[in-house]
């Protein structure tokens, strides 16, 4: 077994010699690379390699393969399922793409952009905007997550309803395989039926099939008008009725439809009282049962767009579908509404340890799912507080559970987490849903995947893994349980 003690390690020496000593970190404080964002996973890296270009990634992988070393790719380290940090063995090499952050080119007429994997999402958005175009992927971690990580996890976020997930925003990829060979699939073509769509294999594979080093991204026209509104209602079914109307009346202009239950807003009001005050029903800190944030963006001018949004909300009020509504009249008011929505996960962590479920359901099944599962959870964990919010226009709920008021959260989790997960995932499975809508599998849901995915699907996934990474060096044990570990 190779030593993991920095200077004496033959692999570390070979990497330093080939890539330059400044591209290889070993022996010092590597904690920034070893702990995940939620602080649920904490490991120890044999070394952190920070290549500056695709050839250097290829060299690093060839050397790691020759030494039989496992490689854990990492972008911005904002992933929520523990897939991007090393395990505790001290034998896994972290491959950070952070230095590969160049925007290689923008083709305005083709509405595409070629970027390196380590580009921070916000920098990609800004570079598109500077050329009068939109890269619509948008999520609260956009200031630090990377496009490589977004593609590796097939990230979703708040604009999926209109523009799709990361998968839908990528036309081509450059990937380094486990043995160090480079696949150059950087194409900006909208149509290309030349056999299997290899790019789709790597998107969502969470670093287990290859290292994404660059991508050709699909851009969209920049909307001229962007309007945000907040509406309140007394049931999830009423929120769904509003969604039906909004989809019908706003068509593709409907870019976001986010649902929040009363308790998620109560928590936000408790921990960030300055944020929520001006919103309907929030003045006294007792929010209505349900609220929705919706966004209309379009290429028509602002007055026309506002008229359409006002008409939608007016009719929904008249029909008794919603209780109250407010259209933001300034950019700062719109931002304030988004801040409230985005503060929910932070308010949850301030409140204490909690259980998260990132699930997908047929949109039509959501009200029924919530009603039944809320009750079932109370049976196994009386007093549990439900934090329900999410991208309901995509059928994606963040269906989270907080310990009862005043209870010790760690004890609550150790006593009830397994039973609560069982209740939630059984209900999701019964409705034909998914146990991971947008965050991926990583380590967190790997064992649940074995229980929930059809055996034949798992068999095909393992076959792909063996074909592309026969030695099992790429992010081993993430997504799939190792079948026969060479490490």
**Binding flags for ligand FAD, 64-93, as an x/- string (CB under 6 A):** --------xxxxxxxxx--xx---------
Q: How far apart are CA 102 and CA 11, in angstroms?
A: 28
Residues 353/379, Cβ–Cβ less than 8 Å: no
Contacts (CB under 6 A) with ligand FAD, residues 291-330: none
Nearer to ligand FAD among residue 140 and residue 386 (C-beta): 140
| Binder of ligand FAD out of 384, 425, 475, 476 (CB under 6 A) | 475
Under 8 Å between Cβ of 62 and 108: no
Binder to ligand FAD among 43, 86, 136, 156 (CB under 6 A)?
A: 156
Is 255 a binder of ligand FAD (CB under 6 A)? Answer: no
The distance of closest approach from Cβ of residue 484 to ligand FAD in the complex, given in angstroms and rounded to an integer, is: 22
Question: How far apart are alpha carbons 427 and 376 in whole angstroms?
Answer: 10
- Token pair for 299: 């290429």
* DSSP per-residue codes, 26-63: -SS--HHHHB-TTS--B--EEEEE--SSHHHHHHHHHH
Total residues in contact with ligand FAD, by rule CB under 6 A: 36
Q: Which of residues 98-117 bind ligand FAD (CB under 6 A)?
A: 117
Tell whether residue 140 is a contact of ligand FAD (CB under 6 A): yes
CB-nearer residue toward ligand FAD: 114 or 438: 438
Can residue 212 be called a binding residue for ligand FAD (CB under 6 A)?
A: yes
Which of these, 197, 146, 136, 202, lies nearest to 174 by C-alpha position?
Answer: 202
* Residue 97 in the binding site for ligand FAD (CB under 6 A): yes
Subset of 32-51 contacting ligand FAD (CB under 6 A): 37
Window of 136-144, 178-186, 233-241, 453-461 that interacts with ligand FAD by CB under 6 A: 136-144
395 binds ligand FAD (CB under 6 A): no
Tallying the residues shown for the chain, one arrives at: 487
> For 387, phi and psi rounded to 5 degrees?
-110, 95
Task: Output 34 or 321, the one with its CB closest to ligand FAD.
Answer: 34
**SS3 track for 170-221:** EEEEEEECCCCCEEEECCCCCCCCCCCCHHHHHCCCCCCCCEEEEEEEECEE
Interface with ligand FAD, residue 348, by CB under 6 A: no
DSSP letter for 120, please: B
Separation CA 357–CA 271 (nearest Å): 22
Question: Quick one: 216 or 475, whose CB is closer to ligand FAD?
Answer: 475
Q: State the nearest-atom distance from the C-beta of 112 to ligand FAD, in Å.
A: 19
- Are the beta carbons of 135 and 164 closer than 8 angstroms? no
Q: Residue 94 Cβ, how far from ligand FAD at the closest point, in Å?
A: 9
Q: By the criterion CB under 6 A, which residues form the site for ligand FAD?
A: 37, 72-80, 83-84, 97, 117, 139-141, 145-146, 148-150, 152-153, 155-157, 206-207, 211-212, 438-439, 442, 475, 478
């Amino acid at each position: 077994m190779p030593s993991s003690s920095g200077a004496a390690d033959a692999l570390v020496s070979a990497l330093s010699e080939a890539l330059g000593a400044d591209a290889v970190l070993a022996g010092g404080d590597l904690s920034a690379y070893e702990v995940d964002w939620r602080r649920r996973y904490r490991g120890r890296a044999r070394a952190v390699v920070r290549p500056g270009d695709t050839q250097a990634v290829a060299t690093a992988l060839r050397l790691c393969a020759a030494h039989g070393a496992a490689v854990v790719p990492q972008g911005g380290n904002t992933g929520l399922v523990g897939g991007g940090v090393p395990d505790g063995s001290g034998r896994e090499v972290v491959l950070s793409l952070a230095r590969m952050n160049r925007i290689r080119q923008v083709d305005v007429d083709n509405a595409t952009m070629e970027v390196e994997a380590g580009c921070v999402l916000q920098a990609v958005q800004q570079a598109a905007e500077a050329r009068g175009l939109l890269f619509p992927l948008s999520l609260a971690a956009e200031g630090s997550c990377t496009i490589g990580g977004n593609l590796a996890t097939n990230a979703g976020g708040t604009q999926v309803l209109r523009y799709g997930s990361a998968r839908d925003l990528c036309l081509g990829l450059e990937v380094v395989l486990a043995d160090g060979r480079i696949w150059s699939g950087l194409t900006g073509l909208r149509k290309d039926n030349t056999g299997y769509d290899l790019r789709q294999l790597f998107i969502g594979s969470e670093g287990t099939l290859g290292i994404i080093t660059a991508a050709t991204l699909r851009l969209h026209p920049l909307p001229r008008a962007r309007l945000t509104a907040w509406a309140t209602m007394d049931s999830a079914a009423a929120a769904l009725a509003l969604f039906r109307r909004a989809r019908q009346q706003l068509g593709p202009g409907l870019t976001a439809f986010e649902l929040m239950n009363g308790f998620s807003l109560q928590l936000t009001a408790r921990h960030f009282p300055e944020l929520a005050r001006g919103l309907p029903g929030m003045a006294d800190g007792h929010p209505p049962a349900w609220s929705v944030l919706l966004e209309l963006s379009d290429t028509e001018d602002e007055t026309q767009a506002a008229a359409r949004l006002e008409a939608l909300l007016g009719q929904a009020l008249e029909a008794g579908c919603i209780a109250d509504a407010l259209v933001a009249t300034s950019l700062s008011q719109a931002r304030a509404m988004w801040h409230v929505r985005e503060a929910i996960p932070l308010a949850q962590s301030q409140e204490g340890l909690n259980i998260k479920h990132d699930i997908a359901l047929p949109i039509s099944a959501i009200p029924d799912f919530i009603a039944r599962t809320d009750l079932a959870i109370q049976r196994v964990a009386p007093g549990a507080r439900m934090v329900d919010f999410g991208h309901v226009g995509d059928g994606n709920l963040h269906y989270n559970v907080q310990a009862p008021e005043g209870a010790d959260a760690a004890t609550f989790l150790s006593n009830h987490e397994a039973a609560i997960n069982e209740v939630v995932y059984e209900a999701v499975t019964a409705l034909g849903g998914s146990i991971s809508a947008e965050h991926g599998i990583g380590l967190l849901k790997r064992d649940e995947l074995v229980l929930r995915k059809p055996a034949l699907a798992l068999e095909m996934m393992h076959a792909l893994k063996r074909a592309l990474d026969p030695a099992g060096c790429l992010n081993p044990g993430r997504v799939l349980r190792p079948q026969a570990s060479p490490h």
